[in-house]
Amino acid sequence: MGRSAAFFDLDKTVIAKSSALAFGRPFYRDGLITRRDVVKSAYAQLMFRLGGTDEQTMARTRDYLAALCKGWQVEQVRQIVAETLHELINPYVYAEAAALIEEHQAAGRDVVLVSASGDEMVRPIGALLGVTDVIATRMGVVDGRYSGEVEFYAAGPSKVEAVSELAAERGYDLADSYAYSDSYSDRPLLECVGHPSVVNPDRQLRRLAVENSWPVLEFRHPIPLGRRLRERPAVPVAAAALGVGVGVAIGIAWYGRHRRTRVTPTPA
């Protein structure tokens, strides 16, 4: 028997809303995006979630992301994330998800965030939760700027490829490992482990969970991390059991597009 791990999707699984929509409010408020951009963001998120396992849908989303990011300074994106993380993400972390992550860690399992969102966002979110291992979308970088190429797009079957590679490297026994997601697009991820659970699942995923007798969890308590630690006994994870990015990267993309003109180029 090898070691076991727990793999968590991000949006609607660990945090309570779409990251793209979470970022949309301050973007619109500060005049960084238009009302049309807000609608476009919501529509893009919906389309991915409804048809995320379709190769054409994933390819269009990947190419759109690459085109938006081309030429941006990587350090600029990291700065944006650092400035907004605690305001926009911390209040929306599900207390149940954070407690479940801690339960897996206490049991000696490695916890891995697996998200289609950009590594520059997912890794800091992981740090908030005490998670150091992430599988996320990685953009190509040349001379400190995004090249317009996607080195790895962490969606659909590609998530499973990365999970399998990590399992081989670390000696994880996937048959004894766990996975959590809210979206049908993560069906391959859920099916590659021995203990899949769905969290706040979409309709297709709920039906799949019922067919396969997978546990269905309902997370309902987004609480800022500091408050959650003070009130930990009030939110038992077991009470939530009944039986499941692109978004963040798009949010970063729109923010970066409008912030780019305000960044002073580094002298040659």
Query: Is 62 a member of any domain?
Result: no
Span of 45-54, 156-165, 184-193 with lowest mean pLDDT:
45-54
Q: How many domains does the chain have?
A: 1
Strand partners, 46: none
Residue 180 is part of which domain span?
Answer: 5-17+91-231
What pLDDT was estimated at residue 250?
Answer: 38
Task: For residue 110, tell me if it sits in a domain.
Answer: yes
Q: Are the C-beta atoms of 245 and 115 separated by less than 8 Å? A: yes
Asked whether residue 32 is assigned to any structural domain, the reply reads: no
Is the residue at 119 inside a domain?
yes
Least trusted range by pLDDT, from 63-77, 83-97, 132-146, 169-183? 63-77
161 has a pLDDT exceeding 80: yes
Percent of the chain at pLDDT > 70 equals 66
Q: Which residues have a catalytic role annotated? A: 9, 11
Asked whether residue 265 is domain-assigned, the answer is no
User: Among residues 105, 95, 93, 96, which one has the least CA distance to residue 6?
Assistant: 105
Q: Is residue 96 part of a domain?
A: yes
Whether 166 is covered by a domain: the verdict is yes
Helix, strand, or coil (residue 150): strand
For 13, residues 6+ apart whose C-beta sits below 8 A from its C-beta are 94, 97, 180, 181, 182, 199, 200, 219, 244
State the chain's mean pLDDT as an integer. Answer: 77
The tokens describing 228, both together, are 């959650």
* Within-domain flag for 125: yes
**120 and 252 Cβ atoms separated by less than 8 Å:** yes
Residue type, 190: L
Tell me the pLDDT band of 251, cut-offs 50, 70 and 90.
Answer: very low
| b/e code 252-261 from CB counts within 10 Å (16+ = b) | bbbbbbebee
Nearest-angstrom CA–CA distance, 73 and 227: 35
Asked if residues 7 and 174 have their Cβ atoms less than 8 Å apart, the reply is no
pTM of the entire structure? 0.77
* 149: CATH: 3.40.50.1000
